[in-house]
Structure 1
Amino acid sequence: MTKIIGLTGGIGSGKTTVAEMFRALGVPVYYADDEAKSILFTPQVAQLVKETLGESVFTDGIPDRAKIASVVFSDPQKLAQLNAIIHPRVAEHFKQWTLEHSTAPFVIKEAAILFESGASKQCDAVILVTAPVETRIARVMARDGVTREMVLKRMANQWTDEQKMGLSKYIITNIDTEDTKKQVLATFNFLNIIEN
């Protein structure tokens, strides 16, 4: 039976970078956040988003992720409504994807809100990627071209590292790339021995 290993971390922690390192080691990686983004543009979901969040989050008839973010990250109820549209569809897609990778000893499910969405309950173990808060803020500001205030708003909608640590079996601190690679390799070796 293929084990499901969750991989999560707060915004700017570098969880996607860590996921890529696991993928380079031959581990199948499912990017839940990427799937959530592509689901947003399917006609059925776009219509539901329009009904839920209104016409203002669309540009030229297409969902505008920046506009959606500005609405949902300042209104927890709207965020919950959006998640209720997106997450069940991502979960269904992941189920199909897992079947396609059933020969792998374990797969990794990368998701920003693995604990918040309840998806961690379907995982055999969870890897948490951490980095100092100021490092994370700087990374997101540089990556997304957003203000410090906008980053802090997004962070406020995610659990803290402290909340996640108690529920995570493996922790990778992502500050220095070479050091992170060593931690990924050590975790990979652990997973091959312990989770199998």
Structure 2
Amino acid sequence: MTTLGVTGGIGSGKTTVCGFLEEKGARVFYADLEAKRLMQENADVRAAIVEAFGAAAYHEDDTLNREYLAEQVFGEAGRVERLNGIVHPHVFDAFEAAKERAADEGVSLLVHEAALLFEAGGDEHVDVTAAVVAPEADRIAWVTARDDVSSGQVRARMQHQLPQEELRERADHVLENDGTLNDLRRKSAELYWAVTGSQ
């Protein structure tokens, strides 16, 4: 079994690429979804978040107060790293468990999709890495429409992610998302063939 880390900045299209890889037969571990699940369900993670960011991090009904937490995390230097330091070790534990299950079940390609793959050290948990990059204007337009946020808010989130130039340098494979959806599907298939050696 091969493990592939797929990353890319906000709005780059990495989740779309992972969907295309799933069509080819890959199994995808979505690190960001796992992080959200942990922040909601894991007692140790919840306690650490409350200690770091205050009781307002959770609503009275015990659901995560995402708006408050985003304001806290993105409003002050070093706080993103603090939250990541709480959540990421648990995400990696979950990925290792997913890796064992996938190997036992004969999965040929397990993908670890993560926005902060390199920043969090996730590249050390996979065999090969790929970065999805796209023109900044396209990324901003896509995210503002998807999340109903301002372009300034999108740029603020981008500041907490590696520049695309660095992603290009660090990743083993780079997918340029600068064309049509069919172009991206073809590039995703080529990535699948490259890392698995099969079509």
TM bucket normalised to smaller: over 0.9
In structure 2, the residue matched to 1:3 is: 2
Q: C-alpha separation between the residues in 2 aligned to 1:12 and 1:116? A: 17
Map 1:47-196 onto structure 2 (within 5 A).
47-60=47-60, 61-102=62-103, 103-175=106-178, 176-193=180-197
Structure 2 SS opposite 1:41: helix
- Structure 1 unmatched runs, 5+: none
Q: What letter matches 2:14 in structure 1?
A: K
Q: Is the 8 A contact 2:2 2:196 kept in 1?
A: no
Q: C-alpha separation between the residues in 2 aligned to 1:140 and 1:57? A: 24
CA RMSD in angstroms comes to 1.4
Displacement of 1:84 in angstroms is 1.1
Q: Is the 8 A contact 1:53 1:78 kept in 2?
A: no
State, as a whole percentage, how many aligned pairs show the same letter.
31
- Cα distance per residue 1:35-76 (max 9 Å; x no partner): 001000123322211110012333224321122112111223
Q: C-alpha separation between the residues in 2 aligned to 1:10 and 1:118? A: 16
How many residues are paired up?
A: 193
Q: Is the 8 A contact 1:5 1:123 kept in 2?
A: yes
Structure 2 SS opposite 1:63: coil
Q: C-alpha separation between the residues in 2 aligned to 1:111 and 1:76? A: 21
Q: What letter matches 1:5 in structure 2?
A: L
- Structure 2 unmatched runs, 5+: none
Q: How high is the TM-score relative to the length of structure 2?
A: 0.92
